[in-house]
Amino acid sequence: SMGLAYIKLYVYALMVSLVFLGGWLPIVSGEGVIGGFLIPSLIVILKLTVVSLVAVFLRAVYGRYRVDQAIRIGWIHVFALSIVSLVWSIILVYGGWVRWA
């Protein structure tokens, strides 16, 4: 049913925000970030909301999304984005801005 689809969307968005977006860690760290329980929970909820909104928007824009369209986008756009991310990481590490842990 339709309710089950939104429950699955919520669970998938939560998993994406926890596994791929750093979970409860803030996007930028600094002195202004307060520890405790409330702030990390709000960070997860914010990331969950952003991922859910993107997923709902994509579902509304692309009603019937075929497998060949997903594969084409994966190979063209996501692969190119991953190469750009790899090059950016290499520049940051070898430029001395980020230390390799």
Q: How confident is the model at residue 100 (pLDDT cuts 50, 70, 90)?
A: low
- Host domain of residue 92: 67-101
How high is the pLDDT of residue 49?
96
Sign of CA pseudo-dihedral 1, 8, 55, 37: positive
User: Which residue has tokens 């019937």?
Assistant: 64
31 plus 2 within the same structural domain: yes
How high is the pLDDT of residue 14?
94
Q: How far apart are CA 33 and CA 91, in angstroms?
A: 27
How high is the pLDDT of residue 40?
83
Q: How far apart are CA 74 and CA 87, in angstroms?
A: 19
55 plus 32 within the same structural domain: yes
57 plus 84 within the same structural domain: no
Question: On the CB side of 20, how many CA atoms lie within 13 Å of its CA?
Answer: 7
The token pair that represents 25 in the structure block: 């860690």
Is pLDDT at 35 greater than 80 in this prediction? no
Is pLDDT at 13 greater than 90 in this prediction? yes
Number of domains in the chain: 2
75 plus 53 within the same structural domain: no
44 plus 11 within the same structural domain: yes
17 plus 49 within the same structural domain: yes
